[in-house]
Every structure is written in C-alpha cells, then in structure tokens.
Amino acid sequence: MQILNRKAHYNYQINEEIEAGIVLLGSEVKSIKEGKANLNDCYCAEIKNELFVINMHISEYKGANQFNHQAKRLRKLLLHRKEINKIKAKINTQGFSLIPLKIFVNKRNFIKIIIGIGKGKKLHDKRQTIKQRDQLRHYQQHNE
C-alpha cells in the first residue's frame, strides 16, 4: 500500500529524495495500511532542530473508538542528525522546500515516508511540464 502526493512533481522541481521513518500512533498505522491518508497540501518544517510533517491528514480508524487520533497533527520524522543538518542547510541557504512525496509500508512492515527537496515551479515551468506530458501521451498512443 502506498499513498502518493500527485501534485508534488507538478508544483515543485524535486532535486533529491530522502526516505525517513515517521512517528505514528497505532490507529494511524492501521488507517495508513487501509489507504486512508492524504498528502495534498502538507509540508515539512524544522522545529527545534527536528523535522515534522505538518497538515498531513490521516483519517480516524473506526475500530479505535475512544483511543483514536487527531486527523491533522504534527508528526515527527525519524532521521539521523547528519541528515537533518544537511537538509536544514539546504533549506536555509538555497531556498529549497521539503515536500512529502509518498508514504509506503516497507518489507519489514514499517511505515516510511519519502520526502523531496525541491524548489517551487513558476507558471511557465508548469506549462512546460504539461506540454511534455501531453507529447509523451500522444507519442504512446501512436505507437500502440
């Protein structure tokens, strides 16, 4: 099961991708495994030398009753200190943004998140992306 941020590659020029762990509650894990999470409009930020995912929506798990979680809350990312320092340096000096791209369950049954480091695209860059996608679609239709 994987959940994608479909608008990320359209709105941002992603230069680097980093895989990280994420701190979740039990009801959040079950909701993600059912595919009930949304990465649209979420982003990552540095708070007190740690990275957090902000505004990620994970629906409540029906079986959790009173022990359920809040749908939108801060969720801490699990990274090594060297990785956090490298990311902070890029964000602060070069104007990059941290964008969650994908949540998935790995082979060891852990939930991981892939974060992209990139810059926001301008309107003309977005038009170029649409043009390339349309050309690729047209080329694929004629070769089938």
Residue 22: pLDDT band (50, 70, 90) is very high
CB of 118 within 8 A of CB of 99? Answer: yes
**Mean pLDDT computed over 48-53:** 92
Task: Give tens-digit pLDDT for 51-81.
Answer: 999 999 888 887 777 777 777 889 999 999 9
- Inform me whether the pLDDT recorded for 8 exceeds 80: yes
Residue 1: pLDDT band (50, 70, 90) is confident
Q: Which pLDDT score is estimated for 72?
A: 83
Q: CATH number, domain at 99?
A: 2.40.280.10
Burial class, 139, CB count within 10 angstroms (exposed 0-12 / middle 13-18 / buried 19+): exposed
Split into its structural domains, the chain has a count of 1
Residue 121: pLDDT band (50, 70, 90) is confident
Of 75, 69, 85, the residue nearest 44 (C-alpha): 75
The residue range of the domain holding 30 is 2-143
